[in-house]
Amino acid sequence: MSISNECLRVLKLSAVAGLGLKYFHRLYSAFGSINEIYDATALAMREAGLAYRVISGVERMRSASIEVVLGDYLETLLEWEQGHDDRYVLCLEDALYPSLLREISCPPPIVYIEGRLEAFLQPAIAVVGSRKSTLKGIQHAQNLSAALAKHGCCVTSGLALGIDAAAHRGALQGQGLTCGVLATGLDLIYPRQHQALAEQVKSSGLLLSEMKLGTKPVPGNFPRRNRLISGMSHGVLVVEAGLKSGSLITAKYALEQNREVFAIPGSIDSLVSKGCHALIKQGAKLVENIDDILEEFSEMSCVPNIEVAATGLSVVASLSVDEELLMEKMGHDLISFDELIGVTGLNTMQLSQFLIELELKRLVALVPGGYQRMNTVKL
């Protein structure tokens, strides 16, 4: 697909020092189209609130060729866009630009996309959370994302460590669509260890960024990325989050964008649950199972396209009486070996044997600090 003339004009405008996102949208609101901005007189731009130095920059840019304005970046961009059939550079006025993003305040004038554009046609739910997630948080994110995918929803997240990666993997496990939103250029996957995951996401969905190719990970770009995660979605599920988590920034954007916000509760002693509890106190919907999310979108086409079954999402295994008792005594929080001896009355050898059996059945996992039940999310 060739890059539209309007898109190229946005790229030229973006090269003007001082003409950032805020002022671009001030102009877009005043003039109504990219071409009208591009052709606006100095007087009209001044009346729209632009400083004289920015107006001078726009006029100099208009008189120069795009090859001169963009320099080597133009060649890099064209090589990237033409290097694969599923790569797109889209501006606000292109027909393929994601419609949900147009609804947010100050949508990105340009987005870079790689993957399957049909992902935008599905109802989208963002699943986000802490990079320093717990085993239980990973399970919740992966299981719920798999269920959402099986129900025809596109799972959106940020390709980060922890909950984000679990959300993408869950959607892939559910054989559904998933979208990864990056804070870097699409030619620089961050973190690097997610290169293979990014390839899987592209084949079963898409990657999107508003950052120029070659943009490296910069802290200030991640909040901008978060507003796109929520903006591309009909609702945001926060799985685990601290009180100063980037996931709470995503939830804040979701509320400003009139999106639904969901949160999974956790232990009152867990630091990664405090952000979710704060959201629930503020009105986010508490989520215990997939129905808590889907019922909010009953009028949308988020309906099962595949029968949701336990197979592959949780382990169905026959348990002995002693194993059932042990599972009951473990509860749903992390518990140490010594605590298990105290609550079960089993001796060391008996407890070790039962725990090994439960690990083999993938119902219990050994984690730092003790043991934890697995696959506890009701789908």
Please check whether residue 305 lies inside any domain of the structure: no
Query: Same structural domain for residues 352 and 332?
Result: yes
pLDDT at 317: 54
Query: Same structural domain for residues 124 and 100?
Result: no
Please check whether residue 186 lies inside any domain of the structure: yes
Strand partners, 205: 178
Please check whether residue 165 lies inside any domain of the structure: yes
Stated pTM of the model: 0.81
Beta-carbon contacts of residue 285 (< 8 Å; ≥ 6 apart): 260, 261, 262, 263, 292, 293, 296
pLDDT at 274: 95
89 membership: H or E segment, kind and range? strand 87-91
Query: Same structural domain for residues 242 and 334?
Result: no
Which residue matches tokens 């600090």?
369
Tens place of pLDDT per residue across the chain (379 aa):
589 999 999 999 999 999 999 999 999 999 999 999 999 999 999 999 999 999 999 999 988 999 999 999 999 999 999 999 899 999 999 999 999 999 999 999 999 999 999 999 889 999 999 999 999 999 999 999 999 999 999 999 999 999 999 999 999 999 999 999 999 999 999 999 999 999 999 999 999 999 999 999 999 999 999 999 999 999 999 999 999 889 999 999 999 999 999 999 998 888 999 999 999 999 999 999 999 999 988 765 444 433 333 333 333 456 788 888 888 888 777 788 888 888 888 888 788 878 888 877 778 877 777 887 775 443 3
Query: Same structural domain for residues 71 and 99?
Result: yes
Query: Same structural domain for residues 187 and 123?
Result: yes
Please check whether residue 312 lies inside any domain of the structure: no
Query: Same structural domain for residues 195 and 61?
Result: no
Gap between the Cα atoms of 41 and 360, Å rounded = 72
Please check whether residue 314 lies inside any domain of the structure: no
Query: Same structural domain for residues 97 and 169?
Result: no
| pLDDT tens sequence across 223-253 | 999 999 999 999 999 999 999 889 999 999 9
| Domain enclosing residue 362, as ranges | 321-373
Query: Same structural domain for residues 229 and 123?
Result: yes
Tokens representing 220? 């200030």
Query: Same structural domain for residues 131 and 269?
Result: yes
Query: Same structural domain for residues 31 and 60?
Result: yes
**3-class SS at 367?**
strand
> Whose CA is closest to 122, among 82, 165, 174?
174
Query: Same structural domain for residues 293 and 205?
Result: yes
pLDDT at 375: 55
158-to-116, 188, 290, 363 alpha-carbon distances in Å: 17, 14, 21, 29
> Whose CA is closest to 21, among 221, 230, 214?
221
Which residue matches tokens 């064209």?
78
Query: Same structural domain for residues 273 and 149?
Result: yes
The total number of residues shown for the chain amounts to: 379
Please check whether residue 306 lies inside any domain of the structure: no
Please check whether residue 307 lies inside any domain of the structure: no
Q: How many domains does the chain have?
A: 3
Gap between the Cα atoms of 16 and 267, Å rounded = 50
Of 56, 91, 115, the last residue of a domain is: 115
Query: What is the CATH number for 331?
Result: 1.10.10
Of 80, 115, 150, the last residue of a domain is: 115
CB 315 within 8 A of CB 361: yes
List helix spans (H) across 174-289: 195-203, 221-231, 246-256, 274-281
CB 102 within 8 A of CB 212: no
Query: What is the CATH number for 287?
Result: 3.40.50.450
